Amino acid sequence: MDLSLSGLASGFDWKTLVDQLMSVQNAPINKLKTEKTTNTSKNTALADLDTKLTALRTSVTSLAAEGLFSTRKAVSTTTGSTWKPLASADTLVGSYQFAVSQLATAARRNGALDLGRHLNYPNTDNDVSGLTLATLPTASAVTAGTFSVNGQKVTVATTDSLDQVFTAISTATSGAVTAAYDYTTDKITLSSGSEIVLGAANDTSNFLATMRLANNGSGTIESSGKLGTVNPTAFLTSARLNAAITAVDGSGNGSFSLNGVAIAYNVNTDSLAAVVARINQSTAGVTAAFDATSDRMTLTNNTTGDIGIAVSETAGGLMDALGLTTGSTLVHGKNAEFTVNGGATLTSSSNTLDAAAHGITGLSLTVDTEATQTISVAGDTAGMRSAIEGFITKFNDVQSFIDTNTKITAANGKVTTALLSGNREIQGWASSLRSKAFATIAGLSGTISRLEHLGIDFKTGTSLLEIKDGTKLDTALRDKAGDVEEFFQTNGTGLMETMGDFIDAITEANGDQQERLTKSNTDIDTQIANIQRRLDQQRQLLTNSFIAMESAQSRLQTQSAALTKAFSNTSTTK
């Protein structure tokens, strides 16, 4: 028989009684748990307050930032201007008219034209039956499709030879137009007894453009330039350069100098594209480029102005082969030319006109058009106002939070308290913040010593700040930025320093309160554990007693049954 089952022998539900007795004994634990829940809620609220205090401290730091009230903002008064003015704190406030008559340009060294070999190389005849469109060394690849000659469609495939295309032109025009290639000029000529008309809107092949053939109103049309070009991706030994590169050692190594910077190459392992990339990544200060259309190399200075580009190497080197030495031409760069407020013409090697060029301290102006514009330099009142508005917003956040969480309200005879209503310390913080925010800063030389002088006051009937007179604030920021700076930023007494020190102090005190609440909850957990242990022991004691009672009751019932049975048998025998 399982005597731990309540009332099995006695018929008495003693387990329910034990539960009821222990429920009464649990009252201290329930009270402690309620206290812990309250502490946790308070701690959460204090953590929220800490976040708002941190945000307020950040706004104070922004308002105390060095240069905030001396920052200058430069703008062009021309709508849609692409000029980029920039002023420093020491730029004098005012308007400056810049008249740019010439923009600065970069110097450029143009290499010789037509660096590549003719289409039919190494053959020295006009037979182009062995040249297929797919392998032509032209500036761009020929695409398959159709092109028009005198309104007739000529269909070509990339597997066609150039000679087959010439035949197709003659066939399509019934012999009216013939085509021929001249290896000495490296050009194609179309001939007819009357005007030749090339192209149509629905052409699908670029053959005419690739061969540089365009209408000229006559019966003879010749390619506008040589057709063969250098292959910039092949190794230099097979790049189809007209001139041989001989100034290399037995392994193919050579070098040249750009603006005094040595650039190395190897004709067996480097392509023209690789050398171009090496130049552009060097400290030579130039940008190299290969123009496949004109089959020419160019070097352009990375900086503007009338300065040169120095190229030097041993005769027979890569620069010679690219026509960048004796065969090149230097296109001089230009200096920017401008006037300020109608004065004398000034020059600048750059299109960024700085104080060295125009003499206006701290003002830099990057121009990209030849025009006349007025640059207005003034204090950055928008930045100043934004910092002040940020402080007001964060100040109000703290005040609203404290007011909401410490208020006590009474309605219909019922008093309602907020979570932190009994915390006099936090209520004191709000009061002190208000006092410090609206205190008069003594010892200032300017005309601004209170927030009120900036048009800032408390909202009627609240502890929240607001800008009551925006015009007054904007005027002070525009005309008395120095006085505003003194009010907010004077070392030791400025509003932001005193406010910041106080915020730091109450943030630390707030942290102490959170720490105390956390420790209190730890202590409560210990108390609950101790009480629970005693209650568990008491429950076990009661349970054991009732089980003993059940056991005794069971034995009595067994004995009674035995006696009853015994007397019953005796009576029957007599």
Condensed to tens digits (0 to 9), the pLDDT of residues 279-328 reads 999 999 999 999 998 999 999 999 999 999 999 999 999 999 999 998 89
Provide the pLDDT for residue 1.
45
Whether the per-residue pLDDT at 2 is higher than 50: the answer is no
Instruction: Give the mean model confidence (pLDDT) for residues 123-151.
Output: 95
What per-residue confidence (pLDDT) applies to 3?
44
Q: What is the pLDDT of residue 557?
A: 73
- HSE value, Cβ hemisphere, 13 Å, CA-based, for 429: 27
Task: Report the mean per-residue pLDDT for the chain.
Answer: 92
Structure tokens at 556: 């009595």
pLDDT band at 541 (very low <50, low <70, confident <90, very high): confident
Residues 6+ apart with CB under 8 A from 262: 255, 256
Residue in 212, 210, 192, 187 with CA at minimum distance from that of residue 128: 187
How many CA atoms, within 13 angstroms, populate the side-chain half-sphere of residue 431? Answer: 6
Q: What's the pLDDT score for residue 477?
A: 92
Q: Is the peptide bond before 122 cis (omega within 30 degrees of 0)?
A: yes
| Segments of the chain assigned to CATH 1.20.1330 | 1-70+385-574
What is the model's pTM? 0.63
What local confidence, expressed as pLDDT, does residue 332 receive?
96
Residue 10's pLDDT band (boundaries 50, 70, 90)? low
| Token digits of residue 328 | 């090149």
Distance CA 437, CA 466 (A): 12
The stretch 108-114 carries a mean pLDDT of 94
Element (H, E) at 49: helix 27-63
CA distance 107 to 346: 20
Is residue 571 pLDDT above 90, yes or no?
no
Task: Please state the rounded mean pLDDT for residues 438-454.
Answer: 93
- The per-residue pLDDT for 236 is 97
User: Which tens digit of pLDDT belongs to each residue from 380-394?
Assistant: 899 999 999 999 999
Residue 9: pLDDT band by 50, 70, 90 thresholds?
low
Region 244-259: mean pLDDT is 96
570: pLDDT strictly greater than 70: no
Length of the chain: 574
> What pLDDT does 27 receive?
84
pLDDT of residue 22: 79
pLDDT of residue 327: 81
Question: What's the rounded Cα separation, in Å, for the pair 344 and 363?
Answer: 18
Q: What number is the average pLDDT over the span 252-269?
A: 97
Task: State which fold the 1-70+385-574 domain adopts.
Answer: f41 fragment of flagellin, N-terminal domain (1.20.1330)
Q: Is the pLDDT of residue 71 over 90?
A: no
